[in-house]
A and B are shown apart, each in its own frame.
Chain A
Amino acid sequence: MAPTSNPDQRDLFRGALEMMILQSLRRQPMHGYALVQHIKQRSDELLQVEEGSLYPALQRMLKDNLVKAQWETSASNRRVRTYRITPAGIKHLEREVSSFEQMLKGIHLVLAPAES
């Protein structure tokens, strides 16, 4: 997730961060900091997420109405902005995941040693 000036070329590959965020939010609504921690833990710290890069992605998804945000008070009595996935977000996630899997499968097939 190297910072670039070009918003189109945003992370590992187009949409990967969004997928991870949406998947995380699908399990349960959470705020930005929690999201970062969650992704770090789930990826066994393999993915080095520059914490801030999450926020532009969240803004994009807010704009596209894939997630909703609301100011709440957390369990630790902190004012946090909690994100929830919307029905449109769920649909988007499913579409993205399936197309990602297709791609992964294709790459796998190409990379696999020839069977003969």
Chain B
Amino acid sequence: MNWLRQLFTRRQIYNDLSEEIRQHLAEKVEALIAEGMSCQDAEYAAKREFGNIARIEESGHQPWMWPRAESILADIRFAFRKLRHSPGFALTAILTLAFGIGANVVVFSVLNGILLRPIDVPQPGNLFQIAHGENGGDSQSYPDYRDLRDRNQSFTGLLAYKVLSVGITLEKSVSQTWGIAASGNYFDVLGLQPALGRFFHASDEHGLGSAPYIVLSYDFWRRQFAGNPGVIGSTVLLSQHPFTILGIAREDFHGTDYFFSPDYWIPVVNAEQVTGWDDFCCRDHGGFILLGRLKPGVAPQLSTENLNTIARQMAKENLKDEGLTLSVRRPGPAGDTHDPMRNALFGITLLAVLVLLAACANLAGIFAARAADRSSELAIRLAIGSSRWMVARQLLAEAVLLSLIGGIVGTFLARLLLGALAHWRAGDFPTRFLIAPDARVYLVAIALSILSGILFAILPARQVWSIDVIQAIKSGYVFAGSFRRFAVRDVLLILQIVVCTLLVTASLVSVRGMMRLLHVPLGMEPRGVTFAEVDLKTAGVPDAQSRLVQRRLLDAAATLPGVTSAATSDNLPFMNGCCWSVYPGTTTQFVPSRVAFSSNVYLVSPGYLQLAGTRLVSGRNFTADDKPGSPAVAIVNETFARQLSGTTTRAIGGHYAMWDKARYEIVGVVEDGKYNSLGEDPQPAMFLAYAQGIGEFIVSSQIYVLVRSHLPQDQITRSLHHVLSQIVTTAPIPVLAWNDAIDRSMMLTRAAATVLGVMGLMAALLAVTGLFGMASYSVSKRMKEQGIRIALGAQRFQVMRSTLSRPILILLGGSCIGLLGGVLAAGVLAHLISFASTRDPLVLAGVVLTMMLLGLVATWVPARRALHIDPAGLLRDS
């Protein structure tokens, strides 16, 4: 800290030196006078003998200075002064950079939070996920997990977990919550300690239903129990089953998923109690995520080989494991090269970098023009002995200063946006985006700022290098090379136009995609339909009574005043989907290789298809006669029919199976619809009679009660909720308009369209200012020449052509390249937006029109100036 003290005491040191020298001279003068000199002579002699006071003081200061640092400081001070004198330029540059860098910080934070940041557990480096082979999904069955856990030689520990959504009863009121059912070793493999109480362990499990324990997340504990430590040891009801609170997880642990932050954890041996779903019976009941700690020195590659050897053994022992292949990869989207989110993120990152690049190109142009205007000042500095490097360094300091301020403003804006994003929740789903900027993000922000500063200072710095001092001091000097046929600035502008065209193309494509999404045939008519969601398992309704309760719910809804029709279904398009493997009707062996395809399944009441407005293409609808005991029947959609029998017309009367006891005859075919997202390809779907269930299973625990009504939305919402909550009192009953649910499913697409739109707008603004700058600069620099030409008889139009031909040519060239790039980049866009097609003539026309408009806006003012040159006045002035 010595140097710091020095910095502050330096003035004192300098004063001491000056004072000391004064005293020295006074003493000397006194001595000389004593020798007999006159006062004045003595003073002269003393000064003569002493030497150059100013220089001596200067070199006395030197030991206390850091010459390099201080000259840079001086540069920065000068840069500040310079920028204060041109606030318009400074503001433009700072805002441009703030948006460019801010956009990058936001995008990078999200990328960092989702792809780069390790999971918040000790030693995340050796935590790996076991997924299906090359591009298979993540989920495994619990029996498979047990085999892998017991037989593998490459993991020190292997855990399994799955997400569950059940009702929790707290002080008599039931709320829907999201938690995790985990293998007993979950917390031990992750290496975690509780904040309070204890976790459950593998030793707590003694068979099915033996461990009714629950560990709460810190947030949930704070939210629901006000952080009361006395809750340890008390019980809560999950789906009406008592669970003892064992402990509280630490505040910084939010599970191992990137978006989902669970409310609690329960041992998997007790999951069946609350979900009614048997996890242990079947190797085709997937749903578990497997994470493990690799042994030290074992590479993921080696572990993959080890696991696949085990998988081959398992396939020999169990028919359902036929063809099982596994791979070991980093957990989450980071490890999954096929994750659409990951690819979309990379795409958006690329676009953000392009925007910043365009911003830098833009500023480089403006900066170079400024340096050109300052050419005589710079030349004078060179002439009086400054080195070229020092002048260039001065420009660099100005640029970096601007970009750092821009970076700070941008990062601040980004933080605001990220803060809002981080608190966003999708319905009751406990999402958590760990995207708050961390040290890495700030480092990137600083690096980006400095880099962009350097990037846009390079051009003017190059000009300083080629400056001709003698010529430059004369007035009216223009940098050599400024108006060559092909200058660096032109390249930058072209680059900018290319980026702009690309982004405009992308945003137009996304807007067009959204428009097409809104008009895509849904295969149903959701307008006017309101539904309520009832979870019978949460309500504690025994399986045997579920049909009865469904009946009562349906009857109650149907008799509501203002309701024209009512129906129920266990799943709903756009709410959640359940996929089942479909086998041809003749199958006897239900193994993976015999699967024909997998299909969405909806267990519906007879009136559902009419209520939903799904058109029957052929065959019949469900009737009250489709009940247990009568032949199991199904209605399928056209895609299902085509995939099963190759045609939609011969499908009626065909058979298929889902397993041995679940065989169905197709009695009707309905039109295709959208089931999970608006942008999806046609998917097979089957509708089964709720009364008949699936095979020996009755139904899933969820029931959606749908009503069609012309009543105002809030009125029907209230009355539906009121009437249903009188029948089921022990479960929350959320009510939603179907249209809203569909809207919600479009959120990601909408977000992508917004992001692209904003970036497109930013790029367009940058392109306009860049073109404008270039055009007006070229007009003003050639004012005199044009004045002479007009005086010699040139037409106004000719003048305009000669000044504006360059920017226009650049605009045309850049647009063409950008459009070509946009067409080629359609693949990247397809990751972000459904129906992304850059070959759409409407989109192409839109891009061309937009770019033309931009060109017009950018060159309008300069063109007017060129048209109104007054040759007489101009020639008189110079």
Q: List 19 A-B contacts (CB under 8 A).
A: A3-B52, A7-B62, A32-B20, A33-B27, A50-B50, A51-B24, A55-B17, A55-B21, A55-B56, A55-B60, A56-B63, A59-B17, A59-B60, A62-B63, A78-B23, A78-B26, A79-B23, A81-B16, A81-B20
- A34 to B52 CA separation, bound complex (whole angstroms): 20
B427 interfacial contact with A, CB 8 Å:
no
Question: A90 within 8 Å of B by Cβ?
Answer: no
Q: Knowing that A59-B63, A63-B63, A78-B26 are A-B contacts, what are 5 other residue pairs whose CB atoms are under 8 Å apart, sorted by A's residue number?
A: A33-B27, A52-B53, A71-B16, A78-B23, A78-B27
Q: Quick one: given A52-B21, A78-B27, are A63 and B64 in contact (CB under 8 Å)?
A: yes
> Cβ of B49 < 8 Å from any Cβ of A?
yes
- Whether B28 pairs with A60 at a CB distance below 8 angstroms is no
| Contact yes or no, B63 A52, CB < 8 A | no
In whole angstroms, how far apart are the Cα atoms of A78 and B28 in the complex? 12
Chain B residues whose C-beta falls within 8 Å of the C-beta of A86 in the assembled complex: none
Question: Is the CB–CB distance between A50 and B51 below 8 Å?
Answer: yes
Q: Shortest distance in angstroms between B198's beta carbon and chain A's nearest beta carbon?
A: 60
Q: Among the interface residues A31, A33, A53, which one has the most CB atoms of the partner chain B within 10 A? A: A33
- B55 CB-CB contact with A under 8 Å: yes
* Bound CA span A52–B21, Å: 8
CB pair A3–B51 under 8 Å, yes or no, is: yes
| Known A33-B23, A33-B24, A79-B23: A52·B62 in contact at CB below 8 Å | no
Q: Are B64 and A59 in contact (CB under 8 A)?
A: yes
Q: Are A55 and B63 in contact (CB under 8 A)?
A: no
Q: Please state if B55 and A50 are interface contacts (CB–CB under 8 Å).
A: no
Contact B63 A60 (CB under 8 A): yes
Alpha-carbon distance A34/B62, docked complex (angstroms): 24
B59 at the interface (CB under 8 A from A): yes
Is A19's CB within 8 Å of the partner chain B? no
- Separation in Å of the A67 CB from the closest CB of chain B? 12
A80 at the interface (CB under 8 A from B): yes
Residues of B within 8 A of A59 (CB): 13, 17, 60-64
Q: Which of A11-46 contact B (CB under 8 A)?
A: 31-33, 36
- Whether the pair A32, B24 counts as a contact (CB closer than 8 A) is yes
In angstroms, Cα B56 to Cα A31, docked, is 17
Task: Return chain B residues, CB-CB under 8 Å to A69.
Answer: 16
A-contact 0/1 string along B21-54, CB 8 Å cutoff = 1011011100000000000000000000111110
> Which A residues are in CB contact (< 8 Å) with B59?
7, 56
Interface residues of A in 49-93 (CB under 8 A from B): 50-53, 55-56, 58-60, 62-64, 69, 71, 78-81
For the complex, what is the distance from the CA of A31 to the CA of B23, rounded to whole Å? 10
Contacts of A56 in B (CB 8 A): 56, 59-60, 62-63
A1's closest neighbor in chain B, by CB?
A: B51
Bound-state Cα–Cα, A81 to B55, Å: 21
6 smallest A-B Cβ distances: which pairs?
A: A52-B51, A52-B56, A63-B63, A56-B59, A59-B60, A52-B50
Chain B 58-75 interface 0/1 with A at a Cβ cutoff of 8 Å (1 = within):
011111100000000000
Of B61, B62, B63, chain A has the most CB atoms within 10 Å of the CB of: B63
Point out the residues of chain A lying under 8 angstroms from B16, CB to CB.
Answer: 69, 71, 81
> Which residue from chain A places its CB closest to the CB of B67 in the assembled complex?
A7
Minimum Cβ distance to chain B for residue A77 (Å): 12
- Report A-chain residues with C-beta under 8 Å of the C-beta of B13: 59
The DSSP consensus for interface residues of chain A is helix
Q: Which residues of A contact B61 (CB under 8 A)?
A: 59
Contacts of A51 in B (CB 8 A): 24, 28, 49-51
Q: How many A residues face the partner with a CB closer than 8 A?
A: 24
Alpha-carbon distance A7/B55, docked complex (angstroms)? 12
With the chains together, A79 CA to B26 CA distance in Å? 11
Most buried by A among B19, B28, B52, B60: B60
B28: which A residues are within 8 A, CB to CB? 33, 51
Task: Tell me the complex Cα distance, A81–B50, Å.
Answer: 17
B520 → chain A closest CB, angstroms: 78
Q: Which residue of chain B is the closest to A10 with respect to CB atoms?
A: B59
Measured CA separation A62–B64 after assembly (Å): 10
Contacts of B53 in A (CB 8 A): 52
CA distance A33 to B28 in the complex (A): 8
Chain B neighbourhood of A78, CB < 8 A? 23, 26-27
Of all chain B residues, which has the CB nearest A50? B51
Q: How far is the CA of A64 from the CA of B64 in the complex (A)?
A: 10
* A60-B56 Cα distance, complex, nearest whole Å: 12
Q: What A residues does B51 contact at CB under 8 A?
A: 3, 50-53
Assembly CA distance A59 to B6 (angstroms): 13
Q: Which residues of A contact B57 (CB under 8 A)?
A: 55
Q: How far is the CA of A64 from the CA of B24 in the complex (A)?
A: 23
Chain A positions within 8 Å of B27 at CB level: 33, 78, 80
Q: With the chains together, A62 CA to B60 CA distance in Å?
A: 10
Min Cβ gap A97→B in Å is: 22
**Alpha-carbon separation in the docked complex, A4 to B222 (Å):** 74
CA distance A50 to B50 in the complex (A): 6
**Bound CA–CA A31/B21 (angstroms):** 11
Q: Is B64 touching A3 in the complex (CB atoms < 8 A)?
A: no
**Docked CA distance A71–B26 (Å):** 16
Cα-based distance from A62 to B55 in the complex (angstroms): 19
CA distance A51 to B20 in the complex (A): 13
Shortest A22–chain B CB gap in Å is 16
State the CA gap A33–B25 with chains docked (Å): 8
Give the contacts of B478-503 with A (CB-CB under 8 A).
none
- Whether A3 and B23, one on each chain, are in contact in the complex, defined by CB atoms closer than 8 angstroms, is no
In the assembly, what is the distance between CA of A55 and CA of B14, in Å? 12
| B20 and A52 within 8 A (CB) | no
Nearest CB in chain B to that of A4: its residue: B59
Would you give the shortest CB distance from A51 to chain B, in whole angstroms?
A: 5
List chain A residues, Cβ under 8 A from B23.
31-33, 78-81
Residues of A within 8 A of B63 (CB): 56, 59-60, 62-64
Using CB atoms, name the residue of chain A closest to B47: A52
Contacts of A58 in B (CB 8 A): 60
Closest residue of A by beta carbon distance from B63: A63
Kindly name the residue among B20, B57, B64 whose own CB sees the greatest number of chain A CB atoms within 10 A: B20
Nearest to A61 among chain B residues (CB) is B63
Determine the residue in chain A with the shortest Cβ distance to B46. A51
Contacts of A52 in B (CB 8 A): 21, 50-53, 56
Render B708-749 as a binary contact track against A, CB cut-off 8 A, 1 for contact: 000000000000000000000000000000000000000000
B845 CB to closest chain A CB (Å) equals: 69
Q: Taking the nearest CB of chain A, how far is it from the CB of B774, in angstroms?
A: 45
Minimum CB–CB distance for A17 against chain B, Å: 13
Q: A55-B17, A56-B62 are in contact. Are A3 and B24 (CB under 8 A)?
A: no
Enumerate chain B residues within 8 angstroms of A31, measured Cβ to Cβ.
20, 23
A58→B20 CA distance, assembly (Å) = 11
Which of chain A's residues have a CB closer than 8 A to the CB of B50?
A: 50-52
Instruction: Give Cα A79–Cα B57 distance, bound, in whole angstroms.
Output: 19
Report the bound CA distance from A111 to B754 in whole Å. Answer: 88
Bound complex: CA A46 to CA B21 (Å): 24
CB-nearest residue of chain B to A32:
B24
Report B583 CB to chain A, min CB distance, Å: 89
Residues of B within 8 A of A3 (CB): 51-52, 55
B52 touches A55 (CB 8 A): no
Residues of B within 8 A of A63 (CB): 63-64
Chain A residue numbers with a CB within 8 Å of B55 are 3
CA separation between A36 and B25, bound complex, in Å?
12
Knowing A3-B51, A7-B62, A63-B64, say if A53 contacts B56 (CB, 8 Å): yes
